[in-house]
Structure 1
Amino acid sequence: MLTAEVTVPVSAERAFATLADGWLYASWVVGASHIGKVDADWPAVGSRIHYRFGLWPVLISDTTVVRTIDAPHRLELEARLWSVGSAWITLTVVEQSPGHATIRMVERAARGPARLIPGPAQDLLFAARNQESLDRLADLIRARSQNE
């Protein structure tokens, strides 16, 4: 299983705080273009981000749901994509040394036609997108830590 990974010069708690900010989701998740609503209890299990996916003028409205949370170390999401299905996304944060957190991201098709694609092929489909998403997240984390 291919895992996207990035290390940032902040504690696991600070990295997770940015990761868990639902209003920032479209800033770092490749493809998400607009956040319409974030449930008040986000990122509690079952809470949702309501967003649009795609490029204007072709935008699809859908949700991402928190399935598991173990702050500041793990966040599991189910990202839905209209009638195409959904993906299970696992994000882990590990403090490798004081003030240096590594964030890892794994994605698997959970429902829909993409589930029929073998795991290694899914890795190839998701790898570049997930790495770009984590690179964007790392930039947000660095910017927020400089402004605090």
Structure 2
Amino acid sequence: MIEIGITVEVPIDEAFATLTDGWLYSSWVVGASHIRAVDPEWPAVGSRIHHSVGPWPLTMQDHTTVRAVQQPYQLELEARLWPFGAAYIRLRLHEEGPGRTRIEMAEKAVKGPGVLVPDRVQGVLLTPRNRESLHRLADLINGRADKGSGVR
């Protein structure tokens, strides 16, 4: 898996809180178009975000499940989009200093036709999408930290 990252100027707990707000996923995950429901226990292991993917009216409905969580350092997910398969996604957070957090993201197909694609090719194909997702996540994190005061 190719891992990419971004740094935000907020404490790790604030970054993790935004990352684990299931209702925000369609705001930063490229391809997710609508969050239909978030299990009340999210982000506990086994809990789910029920989402739609794709442009309306061609959306497909599925879900993403928490596979592991270590607050505020790591979140592991399995994102499904049947009949295309499922992906394993790992998000790791590292405190780089006071009020500064590094977020790293890695993704790999684990079910369906995508597993036939070599890891290196998956990495090349997923990197631009994941980079954009991390930039969107960083904007949300920074915006929440600014309390809506505008552009930093």
- Rounded to whole Å, the distance in 1 between the matches of 2:43 and 2:8 is 21
- Rounded to whole Å, the distance in 2 between the matches of 1:92 and 1:134 is 12
Q: Report the equivalent of 2:20.
A: 20
- Rounded to whole Å, the distance in 1 between the matches of 2:35 and 2:134 is 18
Tell me, what secondary structure is at the counterpart of 2:77?
A: strand
Q: Which residue type is aligned with residue 137 of structure 2?
A: L
CA RMSD of aligned residues (A): 0.9
Q: Report the equivalent of 2:6.
A: 6
- Rounded to whole Å, the distance in 1 between the matches of 2:33 and 2:4 is 21
Tell me, what secondary structure is at the counterpart of 1:55?
A: coil
Instruction: Using structure 1 for the length normalisation, give the TM-score.
Output: 0.98
Tell me, what secondary structure is at the counterpart of 1:128?
A: helix
Q: Which residue type is aligned with residue 54 of structure 1?
A: G
Q: Which residue type is aligned with residue 115 of structure 2?
A: R
- Rounded to whole Å, the distance in 1 between the matches of 2:35 and 2:125 is 24
1:29 paired to 2:33: no
- Rounded to whole Å, the distance in 1 between the matches of 2:83 and 2:58 is 15
- Rounded to whole Å, the distance in 1 between the matches of 2:115 and 2:89 is 14
* Offset at residue 116 of structure 1 (A): 1.0
Tell me, what secondary structure is at the counterpart of 1:89?
A: strand
- How much identity, in percent, do the aligned residues show? 53
Q: Report the equivalent of 2:111.
A: 111
Structure 1 unaligned residues grouped into runs of 5+:
none
- Rounded to whole Å, the distance in 1 between the matches of 2:37 and 2:69 is 20
- In the comparison of the two structures, how many residue pairs are matched? 148
- Rounded to whole Å, the distance in 2 between the matches of 1:28 and 1:46 is 22
Aligned residue runs from structure 1 range 31-46, under 5 A: 31-46=31-46
1:136 paired to 2:136: yes
- Rounded to whole Å, the distance in 1 between the matches of 2:71 and 2:118 is 31
- Rounded to whole Å, the distance in 2 between the matches of 1:109 and 1:2 is 12
Q: Report the equivalent of 1:90.
A: 90
Q: Which residue type is aligned with residue 65 of structure 1?
A: T
- Rounded to whole Å, the distance in 2 between the matches of 1:141 and 1:76 is 19
- Measured against aligned partners, the alpha-carbon deviations of 1:67-107 in whole angstroms (never above 9, x if no partner) come to 00001000000000021110000000001111100000000
Instruction: Using structure 2 for the length normalisation, give the TM-score.
Output: 0.96
Aligned residue runs from structure 1 range 57-96, under 5 A: 57-96=57-96
